[in-house]
Chains A and B, each alone.
Chain A
Amino acid sequence: MNINVRDADVKIGKKTIIKNINVDLDNREFVGIIGPNGSGKSTLLKSIYRVLKPCCGTIKIDEVLIENIPLRESARKLGVMTQMSNFSFDFTVEELVMMGRTPHKKMMEPDNDIDYEIAHNAVKMVGMYSFIDRKFNSLSGGEKQRVLIARALTGQPRALILDEPTNHLDIHYQISLLDIVKKLGIEIFSAMHDLNLAAAYCDKIYVMYEGSVVKEGTPEQVFTARLLKDVFNVHALIRENPETGKINIIYTGV
């Protein structure tokens, strides 16, 4: 599946949050967006999963303009994990994960064994199966995050959009979660905070700064001491991880 964003601007009220964005997602790539707080990462993702409408420019999914695709159809194609939201009213883990089947279901259609199996497999994948009857609100932040990933997987999406998926997770589950989504073999578009994880997992990285993409390319092309200083305002050494051959960033100060 491919997603193409062309010259997109998003305004909230009168303020332009992102401008002139061009992004391409294709070839089962793991694509990361990095950037400091408020650089427009979430806004860009929201305009792709249709919570925000760009005021100009186009977004296409599989060559079709997003506004011409029924919401239900794009929901079937895109699995989305948003930043943690507060849930009033308490659902169990199973009920919440089963909601991931919503775009696949007709109004009166009951959930069948296959739906449950898909959901249970997703829950097992994120290591939450023993919590399946627990109330969602009784879980810790990281556990909630894993349940929300399971919900996104339960829709059997053809591409995943993740907004800081490793937030709240301990280091084991940060790596395990990125391994899981990487192995799915679908396009992943993810906002990332941890630059070393981004360097280790992403095939392509977009760097956002003040609402614009200021650099794009492979981790090797993107991560330079200069860029980290200009965009993130940190001093860092760029090294190679002797085990993986991937980039390893060592921060030395602000």
Chain B
Amino acid sequence: MEKRKKFPLFLTIAVMVSALVLSVVLSITFGPVPIKSGDVARILYYRIFNISTQEALALVQTAKADIIWDIRFPRVLMGAAVGAGLALSGVSMQAVVRNPLANPYILGVSSGASLGATMAILLGAFSLFGSHGVSAGAFTGALVTSLCVFVIAFSGKGRGNTIKLLLAGMAINAMCSAFTSFIIYTAKDAEGIRSVTFWIMGGLTSSSWKLLPVPVIVVALMAGVFLTQFRTLNVLLVGEESAITMGINIVRVRKIYLVLSACVTGVVVAVSGTIGFVGLVIPHIVRMAVGSDHKRVMPISILSGSIFLIWCDVFARMLLGTSELPIGIVTSMIGGPFFIYMMLTKSYGFGGE
């Protein structure tokens, strides 16, 4: 039998991992204080591997090193984790509901998180968590709403189906948005309203070493889980009956994936606000490039999400010069035109039937 050309998956992943590392280093050079990429690389290298030669110590003790290590590096890592989490969750949500319009927020995570964050900022709820009150509020909101949507979709008469899930998500979304708007509308605190708006549009401003471990661990763990699930994800896309005939207990698998994806999204949203577009569009762009097989789509989406968000954050920091833009604005401004370009030039069907 003749050998057919196979997709060079390992090479692609290796190239993308290198691109990710390069993106981390290069993106750190951007900021109010420009720093050379060589210095960034050296400072990171010395700090990470704890090298204490004379030259290393001299460099590590500069103000530059503090900016890099305390401010920019955790922020870039956060961007990578958030981008990976959103892309991962987008891929799995689209497979679970078999709908190309699905995104990480279909369980009402974004509106729930926004409501929680708004309550924390404007009403002082969750003050018990101190400086992490907003994150705690957002996470609680995300958790409660996804639980509600899940319960609504899978109870009542008839089997839970994915359309019911999407509709329940929309209903909960509308309710939460209404409450959020209500709180904002009746609030007197102008500064608070501004920070709510900023939060809702998403941003990595609050990134710190303290906040970093939870999202990184959760995203890494879930990436590990979902990377092993490529077969099941593929079969999910083909439909319920086919999945059963191929030995997949689709009802159980769907529920597990939904819960895991909602967890990732909830954690990510809690630290970064509701960054739109990434989770919807990255999976589609990746499918356009490499086809629908999740063996390729999942790892490449995760890496693309990371890289994309790191660079969006660079734009968010740099575009206005003096102040920062919410990153959600940037993801849509850059991603939208690129997505349309891909739509017009590729023969990809977007899951149309």
Contacts and interface: CB of A to CB of B under 8 A. Distances in A.
Interface of A: 46, 49-51, 70-76, 78, 80, 82, 85-92, 95-96, 99-100, 102-103, 105, 107-108, 117, 120, 135, 137, 155
A197 to B, nearest CB: 23
A96 B238 contact: yes
B52 interface: no
Contacts of A71: 244, 247-249
A167 to B, nearest CB: 15
A70 B244 CA distance: 11
Contacts of A49: 244-245
B237 A85 contact: no
Interface of chain B, helix or strand or loop or mixed? loop
Contact of A85 (B234, B239, B246): B239
A92 B246 CA distance: 18
Given A50-B245, A99-B231, A102-B235, 9 more contacts: A70-B247, A75-B245, A82-B241, A88-B237, A89-B100, A90-B348, A95-B291, A103-B246, A135-B349
Contacts of B348: 90
B292 interface: yes
Sort chain B's interface into a size bin.
20 to 34
A91 B292 contact: yes
A117 B238 contact: no
Most buried by A among B94, B238, B245: B245
A218 B343 CA distance: 56
Given A88-B98, A108-B228, A80 B245 contact: yes
B245 A82 contact: yes
Contacts of B245: 49-51, 75, 78, 80, 82
A155 B352 CA distance: 28
Contacts of A102: 231, 235, 246-248
B287 interface: yes
A71 B241 CA distance: 13
Given A89-B292, A137-B349, A72 B247 contact: yes
B99 A88 contact: yes
A107 B228 contact: yes
